[in-house]
Structure 1
């Protein structure tokens, strides 16, 4: 059994050792790009639906549809994106996607100031942003093993999760008061700026990546064949199959939950934009704690058990939100959301490291795209269902259903080899 180091031992660890991968300039650029891009994304998460709710007076179904379109990119281009990214160097894809996302978001304040902004305009922006995010995320996951090496994936994922968690705290905390002062459309200018700088930083990563090789005949396989290779690889691996199916269940009910969360807080609990930002910042605090604990928890319990234990222990606490009423009970509900974020980050760090370690380089893009397609393919349905259930039964009932569904997402991993008391750390994959 692992033992915690003594205080003296902890204080004797050199600062350079604690910094670890951050000493590497290229990883430092990716780290900074992640911070700014995620800050922009966290601001977007609050500002776009608030623009619909406050500026355009959207109803519950329209808010749910907006949420659905934000994630529809995974369903529309999720599988071909992996094959395309596997054909290209990853750095230009990340930089181009971020810069284009920034340009797309700037159209919202421009349309608002020109007096022509509509809910359909927001739908188009949400869809375009979601499609570009698919390409960025697939390239991002594929780039990391090349950038840091497979032996340092857990550390890299933990550090990147930590900075994402910090921005999850800072983003809503900034977005809430900023939205109250400048309005949702004006707040999106800050979101676009963060993504633009993120793209510029990604473009400055210096480590040269080899261009993916063509086949022996000098021709690449057809797109359909490449997509099929990715699907077969993921679904023939029991561990990969379990992780993506668990994610699919979790994400479906999470989006149903999120689609009505802002509606519930703004209209049922009566919170203003600043208070909503503070509640969402609490989620970021839980995520930060999860990122700080992720490596230690994975070492103690094994990466496999962490993947199913995290949702089983933390998702039930999200039921505190629909039980909340105006007053102090909102604080307890916010703690439940913080626990959800903590468990989610611990799970994702372990899960991402397992997925990357099990996948050969030539299939990383397709593995990531297949996992995203299956895991996120139901997100548009979740948004639509969330909006429809919210319209039919109310926001609180939808939150109860979402909490129950997220808890059940532990089952695929629990019923797989990941259930073992200590799942062995996977060896780097060499075959596909």
Structure 2
């Protein structure tokens, strides 16, 4: 038979059309679409909460820099205190149920703040207690959602699923501060929290509508919490690449969490920006996350997954050096550009490393692996927030930003000094013990 015009042009036989490929994407997966919509609302609420609660402390309760750092510490302390047992507990439960309860609980906890403000009894201790309870529920939500995704879409579609969720998270990080700043400007900080409550309620409703069956985890009569935690620890610490990823992410988060609350203090107190202006600053930075999530797969395909991970972290650290330059003039937007580059690099890194971890881990260990990694990489965040607040009370918030930026420039070293430096494609679970380190190795 004669060749078609398409084949004569060297394009080969016609494959599935664009519409067919689009219909095959996870955007048309009913369960994933509902998780996506629910997670989008949850991420908007979480991002706005991280912005609004420290701002509430600084502007409404006249908190010192140390006290603002204490509020941020309370929001992330649960990752250090409960990070390890949470994974074992989640592995014993249906993840979808955990997600719904965590969303509903966060909505109820935050709802107490505007009620207390209306009664004239809002205090800093209450704000810290609410932040602590909110953080506990966030630990359960984050561990369960990362463990639920492979069950919902299958391991062969994890990169696509994580890229979509990361893009949504980046959009939330872009819109959350702006929405939070506008709400604070219009309603004052305590009543702006009502919008965050609505986000978590919306998320719980959408996740509750997922109809994909989820098997009950098998009940082991001999199960032991300490032994289960130890199994997760051994899996993470026994893998060379997971150790490198934990070291890089933990160091980056330590310095990032030290600088972030002090950046709010600097912008609101030192530079006198309004809540809306501060929200706009962080929106510019968060736009980098949207771009990073969009280009993550293309960058990894061009440079290789291993190289992409360390190079994106190194680039984010260099961009962080622009943030402390913020002044009440054109340098404010130079600092915002630095924030854009910092978040861009972090988003590219996150898509690569989260997909790798989920692909690598056996299903029965997903909760414990994710919780162990969260303990190691997010457990540094309350320490960073506390140390940043303590240093700022002595040396000022701008000094903390310089120290944090310098620390972030070194965070890539655990990756660079590991076999990841030369890898184009990350190995699968069969390579858990040793990894070839030559350039271009697979």
TM-score (norm: length of structure 2): 0.92
Is residue 175 of structure 2 the alignment partner of residue 170 of structure 1?
yes
Alignment of 1:149-298 (within 5 A): 149-215=154-220, 219-298=221-300
Structure 2 SS opposite 1:211: coil
- Superposed CA deviations along residues 208-230 of structure 1, whole A, max 9, x for unmatched, are 11111134xxx142100000000
Query: What are the superposed Cα offsets for residues 371-427 of structure 1, whole Å, 9 maximum, x if unpaired?
Result: 000111121111111001111111111001101111211011111121124134525
Residue 146, structure 1, aligned to residue 151, structure 2: yes
State the shift of 1:123 in Å.
0.3
| Residue 126 in structure 1 maps to residue 128 in structure 2 | no
Whole-Å separation in 2 of the counterparts to 1:294 and 1:18: 22
Match for 1:335 among 327, 334, 337? 337
Partner residue, 1:48: 53
> Of 319, 325, 328, which residue of structure 2 is paired with 1:326?
328
Q: Indicate conservation of the 8 Å contact 1:169/1:280, yes or no.
A: yes
Q: Which moved more, 1:422-431 or 1:404-413?
A: 422-431
CA distance in 2, matches of 1:425, 1:312: 22
> 1:136 aligned to 138, 141, 154, which one?
141
The residue number in structure 2 matching 1:76 is 81
* SS of aligned partner of 1:353: helix
What is residue 405 of structure 2 aligned with on the other side?
403
Structure 1, gaps ≥5 residues long: 1-5
Following the alignment from structure 1 to structure 2, what is the Cα–Cα distance between the partners of residues 357 and 423? Answer: 13
Distance in 1 (CA, whole Å) between partners of 2:40 and 2:430 is 28
Equivalent residue pairs, number: 421
Distance apart, 1:19 and its partner CA: 7.2
- Contact 2:361/2:429, CA 8 A, preserved across alignment: no
Q: Tell me the distance in 2 between the aligned counterparts of 1:101 and 1:419.
A: 40
Q: Deviations over 1:278-299 (max 9, x none)?
A: 0111122100000100111122
126 and 429 in structure 1: CA distance in 2 versus 1, 3 angstrom threshold? farther
CA contact (8 A) 1:150 1:428 kept: no
Aligned residue in 2 for 1:28: 33
Flag structure 2 segments of 5+ consecutive residues without an equivalent: 1-10, 434-442
Structure-1 residue corresponding to 2:421 = 419
| Runs of 4+ deviating beyond 6 Å | 428-431
TM-score, structure 1 length as denominator?
0.94
Q: Which residue in 2 is equivalent to 1:63? A: 68
Alignment RMSD:
2.0
Larger Cα-atom Rg: 2
| Contact 1:359/1:429, CA 8 A, preserved across alignment | no
The 10-residue stretch of structure 1 (229-238 or 168-177) with the greater mean CA deviation from structure 2: 168-177
